[in-house]
Structure 1
Amino acid sequence: MFSLIFLPAKSQENNASLVETTCKSTPFYNLCVSTLESDPDSSRTDIPGLAIIGANRLNAKVYDSFKEIASLLEEAKDESLKKALVECDDHYKTIITYNVLSVIKTVRTSRAYVGRDAMNDAAKEALACASGFENQPTFPIKDSNKVVHDLSAVVSSIITLLVSE
């Protein structure tokens, strides 16, 4: 059983400041702020909690992209497009099964660097997905893939604050 703890307004203001200060250390400030502030828990957590919020939001974006890839695969007629989508699907499976879980498991431990490295790898997986479409006329998940890449970089940057402490 847990109990709700209501923080005084000053503490919530300090956490809003924590979100802003934390996001200033990331490469995508606006994405960071909008992602973290979209979760009500961000107003009452610490930096590891912010990293977990970011990882959870990343996980949701990855699942959305994963479903989009599956839908595109069902409709694809062109073999080279299918191949690019299958490769992208594999990259996203890696993000889902390894990268995001590593953050959640390690961010509150002395092994937070493992989560940081996993987020760097997630960003690389998104780039690898994109590279599979270089010879295609379009990249059908370009926007969602960019969000996955950028949010991975944001979470990595947040975890870097923990690792360097």
Structure 2
Amino acid sequence: MVSSCFVPLFLALFISSTLVVNGDIDLIQKTCKSTKFYDLCISSLQSDSTSPEADTKGLALIMAKVAMANATNTTSYLSSNVLMIKNTDSFAKRALKQCADKYSAAGTALQNSVQDLSSELYDYAYMHVMAAADYANACRNGFMRYPRLVYPPEIAAREEGLKRI
């Protein structure tokens, strides 16, 4: 789920007129102070070599790309685990496959948000970020359909990581 941190960051980047300064050394810090996970925000933005020169749009693009990488990595992780499950556990296999599909859709939604940000279509970018959050959340909900299955802690941790981004 993306919404708990990324959406406030997204809103801070485009609604707050005090943050629209190109090349501001303190822009990353000012932006990250408006988020719930300051240290993660700082490390995510600083992981990109272009962030010191980025304006607010550039920082939003960096965060969208970080979230997209997280969703893509989770899709790969889930897909590889589907292959390792024995044929006898069809419920687990089905739940993992559905989760992989949801995270793939989240990655696509985040890719669309990157394109929308680049085109300055901020309403659509926001809509795609919210869709990505819903897709990640749908993975957890999918496990609830199978009462005998436990939501794996590894997937919960990945979901939480995406949520915090």
Three-state SS of the structure 2 residue aligned to 1:107 is: helix
Q: Measured at CA, do residues 137 and 108 of structure 1 come closer, stay the same or move farther in structure 2, by a change above 3 Å?
A: closer
Quote the residue 2:150 is aligned against. Answer: 137
1:25 is aligned with what amino acid?
A: S
**How many Å apart are 1:26 and its aligned residue?**
2.5
Quote the residue 2:131 is aligned against. Answer: 121
User: Is 1:80 aligned to 2:94, yes or no?
Assistant: no
User: Is 1:89 aligned to 2:103, yes or no?
Assistant: no
Contact 2:72 2:104 in 1 (8 A): no
Quote the residue 1:33 is aligned against. Answer: 42
Separation in structure 1 between the aligned mates of residue 130 and residue 155 of structure 2, nearest angstrom = 20
Separation in structure 2 between the aligned mates of residue 28 and residue 116 of structure 1, nearest angstrom = 19
Separation in structure 2 between the aligned mates of residue 129 and residue 69 of structure 1, nearest angstrom = 11
Separation in structure 1 between the aligned mates of residue 132 and residue 37 of structure 2, nearest angstrom = 16
Three-state SS of the structure 1 residue aligned to 2:95 is: helix
**How many Å apart are 1:133 and its aligned residue?**
2.5
Unaligned 5+ runs, structure 2: 1-21
| TM-score of the superposed pair, with normalisation by structure 1 | 0.75
| TM-score of the superposed pair, with normalisation by structure 2 | 0.75
Quote the residue 1:8 is aligned against. Answer: none
Separation in structure 2 between the aligned mates of residue 107 and residue 26 of structure 1, nearest angstrom = 19
1:1-165 paired onto structure 2 within 5 Å: 14-15=24-25, 17-77=26-86, 78-97=89-108, 99-134=109-144, 135=147, 136-139=149-152, 140-151=154-165
Three-state SS of the structure 2 residue aligned to 1:27 is: coil
| Cα root mean square deviation, aligned | 1.9
**Superposed structure 1 runs of 4+ greater than 3 Å apart:** none
Three-state SS of the structure 2 residue aligned to 1:133 is: helix
Q: Indicate the percent of aligned positions where both proteins have the same amino acid.
A: 29
1:145 is aligned with what amino acid?
A: E
Provide, for residues 70-124 of structure 1, a one-character-per-residue CA deviation record: whole Å limited to 9, x for no partner.
1110011321111211111121121122x11222212144421111111111111
Contact 1:124 1:149 in 2 (8 A): no
Quote the residue 2:9 is aligned against. Answer: none
**How many Å apart are 1:45 and its aligned residue?**
0.6
Unaligned 5+ runs, structure 1: 1-10, 152-165
